[in-house]
Structure 1
Amino acid sequence: MPQHPDRFYPIVDTVAWVQRLARAGVRTVQLRAKDLDRAEAAALVGAALAATAGTATELIVNDHWEAAIDAGARHVHLGQEDLAVADVPAIRKAGLTLGLSTHDEAELEAALAARPDYVALGPIYPTTLKVMRFGPQGLDRIGQWKRQVGPMPLVAIGGITLERAPGVFAAGADSIAVVSDVTQNPDPDARVRDWLAFTQSEPR
């Protein structure tokens, strides 16, 4: 059974990006779009699911868990604020997998109490994409988190480039979530091919 999420885990904010990555053979893509009401989010998720139809791509919906259920998605990812108000039993009843973001020990404890399918840790390196109240976690924290979560997949996120990926995997990450290294790259398609070639050949 393929790993979920895949070792290369891009995060994008439009259906066009989802479609582009699905055509490139990316196996896991997160759709992260903010400031949408439930109907808008459900329509966006539905369009993204249509864009991945017939491909090997699994779509993970960020935060909009109700819209994900409405649209028939299979995977959802929540930040800590959304976890605090989400109906986790409803997510489970709908058959969705659940990924959760963590940044410190308290958040990891809250995440593990929800029995997620994977946990994300970040930011590993400085990032300019989001204003973070947490400083860079560093590679040592990856190993610490991995020892605590055990066999559960651990996703590393934040400022990670392809050049930094070997060290991140060596530190204990099972998957790397990538934003700017793809979406802000001058040749995104070539960068995706390089990521796929690396993650599909890297020893597990």
Structure 2
Amino acid sequence: MPYPDRRAYPDKFYPVVDSIAWVARLTKLGVGTIQLRAKDLNDSQALQIVSDALAVTKGTPTKLVVNDYWRAAIVAGAQHLHLGQEDLVEADLAEIRSAKLTLGISTHDDDELEIALRATPDYVALGPIFPTTLKSMRFVPQGIPKITEWKKRIGNIPLVAIGGIKFEQAAGIFAAGADSIAVVSDVTQNADPDARVRQWLGQNAEAA
């Protein structure tokens, strides 16, 4: 079953990071939802980093979302999972649901949205909203108007906007219909990440 309170998950500010150090730093700052996206790990490495991240967030209000490594997430006792389209094809959705993991899915175009909705996700991520230099993208930037269009299509399912988004653009993106904003470089490549996170958390409170 989908997550019982869709409004509470994911949080409006949703940073995506690639290391335990970042998970620990953001948890201490009081971030409510953090995605751990560490690429190219084997099974044992994935289980280790997921277990370590869960140990960091244990006993805190922070919800850890595991990107890609659904088997490690199940074994380690995670509660939240995010899959890209390629990962979704290979994942065992029945096993994921049996383990009571929430499921977020990345989408970039209409076909991917249809595929995602068939998996009854707990949220849908749309991106990239703006150009991003973090990885080569097969898809052109979607732009803010696409957020409004997709939110109308998916209804009560939370919509997460991702891709090149900075704090200064947050108000407009929420106004367009996004329920949450996934943030990468605006935190991890910021000259003062802690101050930036506090800005985002302040916006979070204002938008609540």
Do they fold alike, i.e. is TM over 0.5? yes
Shift of 1:52: 0.6
What is the CA–CA distance in structure 2 between the aligned matches of 1:42 and 1:201, rounded to whole Å?
A: 37
Shift of 1:200: 1.2
Counterpart in the other structure of 1:172? 177
Counterpart in the other structure of 1:31? 36
* 1:54 correspondence with 2:59: yes
* 1:45 correspondence with 2:50: yes
What is the CA–CA distance in structure 1 between the aligned matches of 2:178 and 2:132, rounded to whole Å?
A: 18
* 1:95 correspondence with 2:104: no
What is the CA–CA distance in structure 2 between the aligned matches of 1:147 and 1:37, rounded to whole Å?
A: 39
Residue identity matched to 1:183: T
Please point out which of 148, 152, 160 is paired with 1:155: 160
User: Percent of pairs identical after alignment?
Assistant: 64
Please point out which of 46, 62, 77 is paired with 2:82: 77
| Secondary structure of 2:81 counterpart | strand
Please point out which of 191, 200, 204 is paired with 2:196: 191
Counterpart in the other structure of 1:130? 135
Aligned-residue CA RMSD (Å): 0.8
What is the CA–CA distance in structure 1 between the aligned matches of 2:57 and 2:157, rounded to whole Å?
A: 26
Residues 138-189 of structure 1: CA distance to partner in whole angstroms, max 9, x if unpaired?
A: 0111011101110110000001000010111111000000000000000000
Shift of 1:37: 1.1
List structure 1 segments (4+ residues) > 3 angstroms apart after TM superposition. none
Number of equivalent positions: 203
What is the CA–CA distance in structure 2 between the aligned matches of 1:73 and 1:38, rounded to whole Å?
A: 15
| Secondary structure of 2:191 counterpart | coil
Residue identity matched to 2:109: D
What is the CA–CA distance in structure 1 between the aligned matches of 2:75 and 2:20, rounded to whole Å?
A: 17
What is the CA–CA distance in structure 2 between the aligned matches of 1:121 and 1:167, rounded to whole Å?
A: 15
TM-score, length of structure 2 as denominator length: 0.96
- Deviation larger for 104-113 or 192-201: 192-201
Shift of 1:3: 1.1
| Secondary structure of 2:125 counterpart | strand
What is the CA–CA distance in structure 1 between the aligned matches of 2:139 and 2:158, rounded to whole Å?
A: 22
Counterpart in the other structure of 1:121? 126
Counterpart in the other structure of 1:66? 71
Shift of 1:47: 0.2
| Secondary structure of 2:168 counterpart | coil
| Secondary structure of 1:163 counterpart | helix
Structure 1 residue ranges without an equivalent (≥5) = none
Residues 22-42 of structure 1: CA distance to partner in whole angstroms, max 9, x if unpaired?
A: 000000000000111111101
Please point out which of 173, 181, 196 is paired with 2:186: 181
| Secondary structure of 1:124 counterpart | coil
Shift of 1:46: 0.4
